Amino acid sequence: MNAGTWLAIDTATDMAGIAVCRAERVVSERTWSSRRHHTRQLAPAVADALAEAGLGVADLEGIAVAIGPGSYTGLRIGLSLAKGLSLGAAHARPGGRPVAVIGIPTLDIVAAPLSPPEGVRMVPLWAVLEAGRGRVIAARYGADGGGSDRPDARTLVVWTVDDLVHRVAPGDWVAGELSAEARAALEATGARVLPAAAGLRRPGWLAHLGRQQLHHGPPPDMAALSPIYSGGQPAPPPLPSAAVVVRPMTADDVAAVTQLHDRAFMRVLDAQHFSRELTNPIATTVVAVLGDGSIVGFAGLWRQVDEGHVMTIGVEPRLQSRGIGGRLLARLVDIAAADGLAALTLEVRDGNAAAQALYRRFGFEVVGRRPRYYSDTGEDALIMTRRISA
């Protein structure tokens, strides 16, 4: 084995890539538009790259492979080849040791060369993949280059370009696979859309990330390494009623709710906000709690004369679309009825179709619009309201 020698394989999308690296030196690197021909093209390309470097698979310290999000077929081909090469190499290695296989989220490959300490970015970065039919998958990387702000690839969902436009703030960086129309729409928000070359997923960086992960801990169980697909999976079922308890927020919950807010809305809130809500005489905040005590949702209501105003509803990103938001909203409706309020009102982003659908299921109707209500994007707010039965 040549210490520090890595193979990188990226088949997450039509743009495929392979690299061979020795320590920090990129010996061979290639990206090409495979156009769904990964099965026929990938193995010969890997064999050629290793031969040009004078290496066999048994010489490798590790194989870094993109695990998604990405296409169903492409990810399976790349990960299957990586695992097969690792197990095959075990026959030629002392003690029959397989080559370490490290899975790296696809969008981390885009973000790595644009993130501190390698880069000079002082603002959030949105890394983007095309997901077909004009849709995208996007992940937000904080200005500190990762750490606690690094996105969980398994929680990412498919958005329309309009969804992304409504989340990107002026000055944010955007890089990755973007159509001309998407680039224009994002530039119109004031975001800095980087040239296409800056968003290319370089397999040399994939190898770097794999080596970095292995050196920070033991290799993961290769058998458990699975792809993260970018769509086509069935919607997860709602959580059982007994699995979630909705109750009033307490002082002991404040820190967890504040952190959940920042994850759910991808922006940092004043640390004292929810403490003030506890002492606010017109406010009520409720939380959704799992059986293990973890807080996975919150919702707030303000009473204003004979009406209630729904202030916010936030749900743990990995558990969205599991019925938690509906249970929180149902509790606010019950509170409003118990308090004798005549109606509930709220604002929702014009582009947030999922939230609007939830509110309509609870009887809310659009009654007005507030132009450019949201300061982060300049987006309009729809005013929605529902009457409370006497």
Joined together, the tokens standing for residue 107 give: 């969008």
Of the candidates 215, 9, 222, the one whose C-alpha atom is nearest the C-alpha of residue 101 is: 222
Residue 106 near residue 66, CB atoms below 8 Å: yes
Among this protein's residues, is 229 annotated catalytic? Answer: no
Q: Catalytic residue, from 29, 130, 359, 379: name it.
A: 359
Chain center to CA of 208? 21
- On whether the CB atoms of residues 69 and 230 are closer than 8 A, the answer is yes
Residue 347 a catalytic site member: yes
Annotated active-site residue in 141, 347, 365, 374 = 347
- Cis peptide preceding 281, ω within 30 of 0: no
Q: Within 13 Å, how many C-alpha atoms sit on residue 259's CB side?
A: 9
Which are the catalytic amino acids?
Answer: 347, 359
